[in-house]
Amino acid sequence: MNIVLMGPPGAGKGTQADVMARNLFVPHISTGDIFRANIKAGTELGQLANQYISKGDLVPDEVTLAMIKDRLAEDDCAKGFILDGLPRTIGQADALEAILAEQGKQLDKVVNIDVPEELLIARLCGRRVCRNCSQTYHLENNPPTEPGRCDECGGELYQRADDSEETIKNRLEVYRAQSEPLIAYYEQKGLLLSVNGNQTINNVLVDIGKGLGQSW
Ligand code: ADP
Ligand code: ADP
Ligand code: ZN
């Protein structure tokens, strides 16, 4: 299955994508994770992307689309993928369709995780991520067993630099202006599955499964 996960910053895309990918035996492709890995490694791509990410702005399309085109062409995507973080604009959605068409593929479903805006700031401020394996936690909603340590790998948990209140405000504005129109775009294409993201992590997963005809 070729699936896109959409939703505002903090909706729970990464959290759900991770479990879905493990259950469906397909890769979880997160554009944000790829950028952050490049920033950590100090690559040219990372240095460029960081100028935008640190402000909460979108990384330019020429960089983002070249990166995703290469990633989707890798062998592990042959049986499907869960794409988290792209498209973020109508332009990227059109480009994604063209990239997939070149590879003889198309999207099967676009899952939109719907969460009221007033909940997002608390979700983002409380988010902690493993430095080593990118597993995501929340200080209150989904805490690790041992504070500051990843349950999966024992790695150190950190707070993303762009999860500061000021950057969050800009990311939410960017979402509203540039990404939210994608909901109507995919609805029109008959690909949209919208789920209520304002429930427990497990219940969101169950609802996604119902919509995909999948019991996890
Ligand atoms: P996104 O990838 O959409 O930005 P994340 O998956 O990183 O979102 O989730 C944002 C934060 O909210 C994380 O700290 C995560 O643990 C927490 N979270 C995710 N889903 C839920 C949920 N259904 N209820 C409460 N908190 C959640
Ligand atoms: P979120 O948790 O807000 O959904 P992500 O980890 O998906 O965050 O993305 C972090 C940042 O990486 C974004 O704020 C943006 O700067 C950049 N980014 C991620 N995906 C894209 C994309 N498709 N186009 C442009 N920039 C992107
Ligand atoms: Zn870890």
Q: What is the pLDDT of residues 16-32, one digit of tens each?
A: 999 999 999 999 999 99
Catalytic residue among 69, 105, 109, 160: 160
Q: What is the pLDDT of residues 54-78, one digit of tens each?
A: 999 999 999 999 999 999 999 999 9
- Give the angle 121-204-208 at the CA atoms, nearest 5°: 125
Confidence of residue 118 (pLDDT cuts 50, 70, 90): very high
Write out residues with Cβ below 6 Å of ligand 2: 9, 13, 31-32, 35, 52-53, 56-59, 64, 85-86, 88, 92, 162, 171
Domains of the chain, each with CATH number or no CATH = 2-115+179-212 (3.40.50.300)
- Closest atom of ligand 2 to 13 CA is 4
What's the pTM value of the predicted model, to 2 decimals?
A: 0.97
Confidence of residue 119 (pLDDT cuts 50, 70, 90): very high
- Closest atom of ligand 2 to 124 CA is 2
Q: Could you tell me whether strands 192-196 and 109-114 are parallel, antiparallel, or unpaired per DSSP bridges?
A: parallel
- Residue 131 is a catalytic residue: no
Q: What's at 93, amino acid-wise? A: A
Q: Which ligand is nearest to the CA of 58?
A: 2
> Is pLDDT of 138 > 90?
yes
Catalytic residue among 13, 36, 123, 128: 13
- Give the angle 145-121-64 at the CA atoms, nearest 5°: 90
In the chain, pLDDT over 70 holds for what percent of residues? 100
Among 77, 156, 172, 160, CA closest to 121 = 172
How far is the centre of ligand 2, averaged over its atoms, from the C-alpha of 67 (Å)? 13
Please tell me if the CB atom of residue 56 comes closer than 6 angstroms to any atom of ligand 1.
Answer: no
Catalytic residue among 36, 88, 123, 128: 88
- Residue 127 is a catalytic residue: yes
Confidence of residue 216 (pLDDT cuts 50, 70, 90): confident
Q: What is the pLDDT of residues 162-183, one digit of tens each?
A: 999 999 999 999 999 999 999 9
Confidence of residue 51 (pLDDT cuts 50, 70, 90): very high
- Residue 171 is a catalytic residue: yes
How many Cα atoms within 13 Å fall on the side-chain side of residue 197? 25
Q: Which ligand is nearest to the CA of 172?
A: 2
